[in-house]
Structure 1
Amino acid sequence: MNIAYWIVAGPLALFYFYAGTLKVIRSRDQLRPMMTWVDRLPLPALRALGTVEVLGATGLVLPPLTGTAPCLASAAAIGFVLLQAGAIAVHLTGDDRRIVLNVGLTAAAAVTVWSATRA
């Protein structure tokens, strides 16, 4: 993988690993101040979402590092683009209209897809 991939994918993986871990281990009350939408999802779905984020972050980093199935990094990045499309929809259909972070994460994941396919 090239340097451009790691410049974008590294911080993206760290963000999703952190956010996913929070969704897996914290209570709804602890998440509510930073994620106002948590009451709109059942707790098992919230935990599953966190697990998907942690696995996706692992998919961005591990395959390129080991050289085993590097196409999985592209798949993980595409998954994050789709995840953020859903997140934007959740924010826009609820009371929370703050989607700047989601748009930025979508762009970063799209750049990651592009840079992963060029390597």
Structure 2
Amino acid sequence: MNVVLWIIAALLAAAFLGAGAMKLIQPKEKLAASGLAWTEDFTAGQIKTIGALEVLGAIGLILPAVLDVLPILVPVAAAGLAVTMIGAVVVHVRRGEGPGAVPAAVLLVLSLVVAWGRFGPYAF
């Protein structure tokens, strides 16, 4: 199960690093034009904050365990990303974007699995 948790954490880290970097680098208008309609409901600063949280969460999923420095931060990062994805699911559902909530829900479940595994039976 330890290997499975590492694989899930690596996939989550890649997904959140990419998504967060995109939100940090691209302007709000470009994000909206590329299909992220939810950005219309948020200010540019809020979108940048979400992106920064995703990038920090991605780093927190891997780096503390690899460096063996405060590995408790791995499940904390996973739990934080789960909270972020709860917000994403709520936003998509409120906007009537049911299918748009599916990727966020999948990331939510995977984040919860890592948080459960690393807080619980497979802690470092």
Aligning the two structures, in what range does the TM-score lie when normalised by the shorter sequence?
over 0.9
Quote the Cα distance in structure 1 between the aligned partners of 2:30 and 2:16: 18
Q: Give, in angstroms, the shift of residue 3 of structure 1.
A: 1.1
* Alignment pair present for 1:27 and 2:17: no
**Deviations 1:38-82, CA, capped at 9 Å, x for gaps:** 010010010011001000100001000011100100100000111
What is the Cα-based RMSD across aligned positions, in Å? 1.4
The secondary structure found in structure 1 opposite 2:63 is helix
**Deviations 1:3-54, CA, capped at 9 Å, x for gaps:** 1221100010000000000000101232122311001001001001100100
Name the counterpart of 1:81: 82
* Alignment pair present for 1:114 and 2:116: yes
Quote the Cα distance in structure 2 between the aligned partners of 1:43 and 1:80: 20
Quote the Cα distance in structure 2 between the aligned partners of 1:23 and 1:3: 30
Quick check: 2:28–2:47 contact (8 Å CA) kept in 1?
no
Q: Where does the alignment leave 5 or more consecutive residues of structure 1 unmatched? A: none
Quote the Cα distance in structure 2 between the aligned partners of 1:30 and 1:18: 16
Quick check: 1:84–1:102 contact (8 Å CA) kept in 2?
yes
The secondary structure found in structure 1 opposite 2:35 is coil
The secondary structure found in structure 2 opposite 1:70 is coil
Q: Where does the alignment leave 5 or more consecutive residues of structure 2 unmatched? A: none
* Alignment pair present for 1:18 and 2:55: no
Q: Scaled by the length of structure 2, what TM-score is found?
A: 0.90
Task: Give the fraction of aligned pairs with identical amino acids, expressed as a percent.
Answer: 31
Matched residues, number: 119
Quick check: 1:56–1:77 contact (8 Å CA) kept in 2?
yes
Name the counterpart of 2:5: 5
Quote the Cα distance in structure 1 between the aligned partners of 2:4 and 2:73: 17
Q: Scaled by the length of structure 1, what TM-score is found?
A: 0.93
Runs of 4+ in structure 1 off by over 4 angstroms are none
